[in-house]
Amino acid sequence: METPLTQNIRPGQAPPELKAYERAGGYQALRKALSSMTPQQVIDLVKASNLKGRGGAGFPTGLKWSFMPKDAPEPKYLIANADEMEPGTFKDRYLLEGDPHQLIEGMILAAYAMHADTAYVFMRGEYKRAAQTISHAIAEAYEAGYLGKGILGSDYSLNLYLHLSAGRYMCGEETGLLNALEGKRANPRAKPPFPPVSGVWGKPTTVNNVETLCNVPHIVNNGASWFQALSRSKDGGTKLYGASGKVRRPGLWELPMGTTVREILEEHAGGMREGVRFRGLLPGGASTDFLVEEHLDLPMDFNELQKAASRMGTGTMIVLDDQTCPVGMLWNLEHFFAQESCGWCTPCWSGLSWAERILNALEQGRGQAGDIEKLAFQTKFLAPGNTFCALAPGAAEPLQSGLKYFREDFERHIREQRCPWR
């Protein structure tokens, strides 16, 4: 089984320096693209590969790139979203710390395809080691002529900078990120105009997730059908899947896209720890709907999980066991979302703090008749279309599915006026 994204990563060891990355075939894709492919051909190849965005939304990457206006004057921007703050998600850090040149090569290829002349790695401030790794790799790439003026003797030039943010979940939202990069509060922007038309500083901009960009050199080297063949599903490639919670072996694995939930949970994560039983899981971070026993044989990909009224999200699952209170878990999640709401639109700041207060009251033994209905109302009130960005609809996902699958637990909190797990 091929694992292109993690082939150079040795956990516990320093990441490959430029020379080691080159010896492993690194920057061959960039040489190939600059010497024998037009930018349009790179976009067409990525379209044909069926690569979908790994940040959680699963939007086709090639299509996204094709929205960048070809004839608009420079500057045009490419941004790698390395603001991994989705609770339960730890995949991009692994790529950033483990193989920094893979990301940089992917970014140069993406920028070339979109005629971008400036690129940023937008990274959360807490990722200290990743920041060192990436800034060292950027310096090496400039030194070797992979960045800067006239890359590898071609007439293509690109500047790439690392921007370290200062911690706020909203920065991961595409337009919030653009405001943060401009040195402002990371409030979302109204769309349209979309970033390819008016992005950072009002210029054409594309934002891609780290894992998405890391796939690009491999697609350019090996072709679209090779990439498709890595996958067990309609979405191309491999995927970094992870598991956390009370499983035997929490961790991260690069597996074919479309590996089933059960295989990840039982074979790779080793099943539940001694003494606890499985109750449910959030398949891809805090803002995805719960899956339960009946869903375990579904493939983890963008299409199939939607049929179960959930989303793959980031692909790193958070597992709930029977010794952990589901209401408490939802309180923790909604506390996070209420705190991280930027306060820009009313349903989000008002609705989320209301939901959080009700969940806290349930946990403290002060639940009242009607609380479940109030929470259910909130999930509708926070639905897509009512807010500027996806933060509140994302927050509603675990809550609406939690109310569905763990309703009896909610009722018990109210009936017994206490949390039965305390």
Partner 1 sequence: MLSPEEREAIEAELPHYPTKQAVSIDAMKIVQKYRGWVSDEALQDIAEFLGMSTSDLDGVATFYNLIFRKPVGRHVAYVCGSVSCWIMGAQRVTEHMTMHCGSTLGEITRDGRFTVLPIVCLGACDHAPVMMVDDDLHLDLTPEKAVEILERYE
Which positions lie near partner 1, rule CB under 8 A? Answer: 75, 84-90, 92-93, 124-129, 161, 163-169, 180-186, 201, 242-246, 250-252, 282, 286, 316, 318-321, 324, 328-329, 332-333, 336, 339-340, 342
Which residue's CB is nearer to partner 1, number 73 or number 183? 183
Which residue's CB is nearer to partner 1, number 25 or number 202? 202
Q: Beta strands 238-245 and 251-256: pairing type?
A: antiparallel
Q: Which amino acid is at 162?
A: L
**Alpha-carbon gap, residue 97 to 89, rounded angstroms:** 15
Q: Least CB distance from residue 77 to partner 1, whole Å?
A: 10
Please, which residues have CB within 8 angstroms of residue 391's CB and are 6 or more apart in sequence? Answer: 169, 170, 173, 188, 287, 337, 340, 341, 342, 348
Return left, alpha or beta for 115; rule: phi > 0 is left, psi -120 to 50 is alpha, else beta. Answer: left
- Cβ-contact 92, 60 below 8 angstroms: no
Which residue's CB is nearer to partner 1, number 124 or number 295? 124
Q: Least CB distance from residue 353 to partner 1, whole Å?
A: 16
Q: Least CB distance from residue 387 to partner 1, whole Å?
A: 18
Q: Least CB distance from residue 17 to partner 1, whole Å?
A: 22
Q: Least CB distance from residue 152 to partner 1, whole Å?
A: 23
Which residue's CB is nearer to partner 1, number 42 or number 333? 333
Which residue's CB is nearer to partner 1, number 118 or number 208? 118
**Alpha-carbon gap, residue 235 to 256, rounded angstroms:** 10
Which residue's CB is nearer to partner 1, number 47 or number 136? 136
Q: Least CB distance from residue 138 to partner 1, whole Å?
A: 11
Which residues in 226-343 belong to E strands, given as ranges? 238-245, 251-256, 278-282, 316-321
